[in-house]
Structure 1
Amino acid sequence: MRSLRSKGSLSIGSTSFPSLFWSAGGGVDNPSTLHIGNLAEGGGLERYFRELVCRLSRGDGGALGMVLGRDNVDNAFLAFAAPHDPLPERLYKMRRVFLRARKAFPVDGVVAHFPLYAFPILHRLDIPLLVHFHGPWAEESLWEGGRGVSTWMKRQIEQWVYRRAEHFIVLSEAFGELLQRLHGVPDRRLSVIPGGVDMERFRALPPREEARRALGWPLDRPILFTVRRLVPRMGLENLIHAMERIKRVYPDAWLAVAGRGPLGHTLAKRVHERGLEGHVFLEGYLSEKRLALAYRAADLCVVPSSALEGFGLVAAESLAAGTPVLVTPVGGLPEVVGGLAPELVLSGTDGDALADGIIEALRGERVLPSASDCRRHAWSFDWEQVIPKLHRVYQGVVG
């Protein structure tokens, strides 16, 4: 088996693939992997998936991403369908493109990052399947109001895919335990490898005041920042509730909330109803450049998740920018910051717990790590540390 290298494009039938030329490598020592995922959602998971596949595609074994969304990201991705395609059409296209890719490319293993798009190829798999478990799809659906047949079907698809998988990778011990509880995965088929951060991206950030100028943010107010998908389990309504108390103690406190999602209109209504227009600003989507500046511009970042937080990439990215971050005691969040300072873990997830922790931090009663300590801790999540660990797991499964 030889490794995958991107170079231009290649058409097979009606499908245009990133073109490959063959070089030494591949097989057990340098496995070539085909990653199935989604580039249509945005957020930390998309950043993780995109960066992972791009870095693996430049390695000895090589990698190709088959995605719902756009293709041609660093010549490492192929879009099998558009996000607006009906679901049956997406699944049909996924199967068709996968079968053509298998004939065209030498691949040692398939790596699924979302069970739905691995489902249509299960009966045609003749190579190992690995799963990056980013979250329980059916449980997340329940949190977002899903019920009945739809949620039942999601759980069934998860079970079918996970029964076929040889090995699982999770981002935290907490999600490893969740995967075992929900799907009975034994320890021997489970590896815990944290998410990756591109530390170089945060190395040359400007001073805090300069970052605020670039974003058009206030220069003379204490600024809190969070970036989340705008869905119920992210705890943003609790954070807005907390701002009512914080405003009474710090009348000039200012919270910036970045992200998109179905809860956007509800959050805007909450801000208006509680008279917080001058204190809570809904930023919407931020580009990666502006996101890095936002981490740097804030005095304090907050991750207010209520449930099902597998890692919390935004917490690690905040630390990489030199800004301390308070997190709720949910899922893998305490694992991200616990080795730095236990004071960064809040006592609970409700509005009062958030308000207590933030007020204590702004008063100096809750001791926060310095910018240099934050950055030093974040280096443990650098992709240069993470990729070799993933590579060893891929080698072991293919072998």
Structure 2
Amino acid sequence: MKLLSTGLGWNELQPGGLNRYFADYNAAMKEYGHAGLGLVVTESGDQLSTNLNIVEAASSGTPLIARMRSLKRMARQSVDAFQPEVFNPHFAPYAAMISRAVLPPHVPIVTHFHGPWALESKLEEHHRSPFMRESRYWVKKQVELLTYRRSDSFIVLSEYFRDILIEQYGIESHRIHIIPGAVEHEKFKPHPDRESLRRKLGVQPEQQLLFCARRIVRRMGIDRLIESMNAVVALHPGVRLCIAGDGAMREEYSRLVESLRLSDHVKLLGRVSNEELVEWYQAADMSIVPTITLEGFGLVTVESLSCGTPVLGTPYGGTREILGKLSADLLFKDGTSESISETIIAALEQRLHIPSREECREHVMQHYTWDRVADAVTQVFEVELEKRKRFR
């Protein structure tokens, strides 16, 4: 079938969980046999390089309202030229102006809910006054609701995000389908020679390498992870933590590392390429996911597991749902630095049930592959198409 989708940005240009999902999702749906057209927003001057049918619909350098209007214009053109059978938005604000007047009545709208945009923004706007935060939150939520109120059904990646859709947006549970995310397992796979890879990355043979890949913002819990390393290195001075990612809090967290005198043990790598990301997962002894809140799935969790590297994470949202099925010992008691350090130390001292690298990989192959996602999503589309046959 012909699928028109709208995303946020393009992962090769703007790395992030939603953008990576959108890119891999479009590739998987194409492999499954669908014809897709994806509309994304990129920075001015960036060139899209992909064999998928992805089009730049707007520039991220323009105001939000201008981007929304541009997406609407491109969607209207796509309806005429591409004649989609399903409209599948992945980022509510960019789809807010694509109303039923733009789409033929027989085209269902199946929305991927990747998280509460308004609430995520509110949590990061700590520099604003309480009044401004609440006002901006209310406006952004109304923008989201424009998309959600016209959607026929929803796809979420976890029970956690299903509950948010129900409780915060008033969506009926029968309209929500839980289809966990997936990983490009042919790319994210164990390295054939980990020791040589570790030498390449400067990891000493006796070192225990911890790795964390996160956007460097407050809700990701990076500060608590850094603080936890004080207790870890006191008992295990050979441990090294590398953190990949960029964001608003990077400079502050760099200063935190220095103030705690952890510079020999904790390194902020900044943004890394997709190829480098795979290598760090492969080389690590354990990955850490310290997210405090709004972890809807945790793509980094399955990426690490797919490389054969076990993951320790906070017992929230999608992280709990993924790791709890593998081993309860992989979950921290809570999101405090004390709990994080206690679990890391126990893992290093082999006092926990940590799955083998083979078991980690197998867990992904059983539950988080793109062929499973494409099949499940297609079934949702078919149901919604059947419901709208009466509009033809």
> TM-score scaled by structure 2?
0.91
Matched AA of 2:103: L
The counterpart of 2:123, out of the listed 143, 146, 154, is 143
Q: How many residues align?
A: 369
Q: Which runs of 5+ in 2 are unaligned?
A: 127-132, 387-392
Partner of 2:86: 109
- Cα distance in 1 for partners of 2:32, 2:304 equals 28
Structure 1 residue 386, shift from structure 2 partner: 1.7
Structure 1 residue 157, shift from structure 2 partner: 0.9
Bigger relative contact order, structure 1 or 2 (CA pairs below 8 A, ≥6 apart): 2
- Cα distance in 2 for partners of 1:218, 1:391 equals 47
Whether the 8 Å CA contact 2:9–2:41 is kept in 1: the answer is yes
Residues 1:236 and 2:222 aligned together: yes
Matched AA of 2:221: G
Structure 1 residue 225, shift from structure 2 partner: 0.3
Whether the 8 Å CA contact 1:57–1:76 is kept in 2: the answer is no
- Cα distance in 2 for partners of 1:336, 1:289 equals 24
Matched AA of 1:124: V
Partner of 2:316: 330
What is the correspondence of 1:85-104 to structure 2 with a 5 Å cutoff? 85-104=62-81
Structure 1 residue 329, shift from structure 2 partner: 0.7
What is the correspondence of 1:298-337 to structure 2 with a 5 Å cutoff? 298-337=284-323
Partner of 2:175: 189
Residues 1:258 and 2:244 aligned together: yes
Residues 1:361 and 2:361 aligned together: no
Which sits farther off after the overlay, 65-74 or 345-354? Answer: 65-74
RMSD, matched Cα: 1.5
Whether the 8 Å CA contact 2:68–2:95 is kept in 1: the answer is no
- Cα distance in 1 for partners of 2:359, 2:224 equals 29
Partner of 2:57: 80
Matched AA of 1:141: S
- Cα distance in 1 for partners of 2:52, 2:237 equals 49
- Cα distance in 2 for partners of 1:398, 1:71 equals 31
- Cα distance in 2 for partners of 1:398, 1:99 equals 20
- Cα distance in 2 for partners of 1:82, 1:215 equals 36
Q: Secondary structure at the match of 2:238?
A: coil
Whether the 8 Å CA contact 1:72–1:78 is kept in 2: the answer is no
Q: Secondary structure at the match of 1:199?
A: coil
What do the CA deviations read for 1:158-208 (whole angstroms, capped 9, x no partner)? 112111100010101111111111112112101000101111113462332
Partner of 2:362: 376
Whether the 8 Å CA contact 2:4–2:87 is kept in 1: the answer is yes
Whether the 8 Å CA contact 2:241–2:265 is kept in 1: the answer is yes
What do the CA deviations read for 1:201-241 (whole angstroms, capped 9, x no partner)? 13462332222223333443111000001110000000001
Whether the 8 Å CA contact 2:79–2:103 is kept in 1: the answer is no
Partner of 2:267: 281
Partner of 1:26: none
What is the correspondence of 1:11-50 to structure 2 with a 5 Å cutoff? 31-39=1-9, 41-50=14-23
- Cα distance in 1 for partners of 2:382, 2:95 equals 21
What do the CA deviations read for 1:10-33 (whole angstroms, capped 9, x no partner)? xxxxxxxxxxxxxxxxxxxxx311
Residues 1:124 and 2:102 aligned together: yes
What do the CA deviations read for 1:21-63 (whole angstroms, capped 9, x no partner)? xxxxxxxxxx311110112541222111101012213433311
Structure 1 residue 72, shift from structure 2 partner: 4.4
Whether the 8 Å CA contact 1:207–1:296 is kept in 2: the answer is no
> TM-score scaled by structure 1?
0.89
The counterpart of 1:397, out of the listed 378, 384, 387, is 384
Whether the 8 Å CA contact 2:213–2:300 is kept in 1: the answer is yes
Which sits farther off after the overlay, 208-217 or 124-133? Answer: 208-217
- Cα distance in 1 for partners of 2:190, 2:282 equals 11
Matched AA of 1:36: T
Q: Secondary structure at the match of 2:312?
A: strand
Q: Secondary structure at the match of 2:166?
A: helix
Which sits farther off after the overlay, 273-282 or 70-79? Answer: 70-79
- Cα distance in 1 for partners of 2:73, 2:49 equals 19
Matched AA of 1:101: S
Matched AA of 1:315: T
Q: Secondary structure at the match of 1:393?
A: helix
Which sits farther off after the overlay, 289-298 or 79-88? Answer: 79-88
Pick closer, same or farther for the CA change 1:45–1:275 going to 2, 3 Å: same
Matched AA of 1:115: A
- Cα distance in 2 for partners of 1:201, 1:336 equals 20
The counterpart of 1:62, out of the listed 35, 46, 59, is 35
What do the CA deviations read for 1:317-376 (whole angstroms, capped 9, x no partner)? 111111110110111111111221111111000100100000000001112001111111
Partner of 1:350: 336
Pick closer, same or farther for the CA change 1:108–1:287 going to 2, 3 Å: same
Residues 1:388 and 2:375 aligned together: yes
Structure 1 residue 87, shift from structure 2 partner: 2.3
Q: Which runs of 5+ in 1 are unaligned?
A: 1-30
- Cα distance in 2 for partners of 1:133, 1:387 equals 16
Whether the 8 Å CA contact 1:138–1:151 is kept in 2: the answer is yes
Pick closer, same or farther for the CA change 1:203–1:277 going to 2, 3 Å: closer
Whether the 8 Å CA contact 2:210–2:284 is kept in 1: the answer is yes
- Cα distance in 1 for partners of 2:226, 2:171 equals 38
- Cα distance in 2 for partners of 1:305, 1:378 equals 21
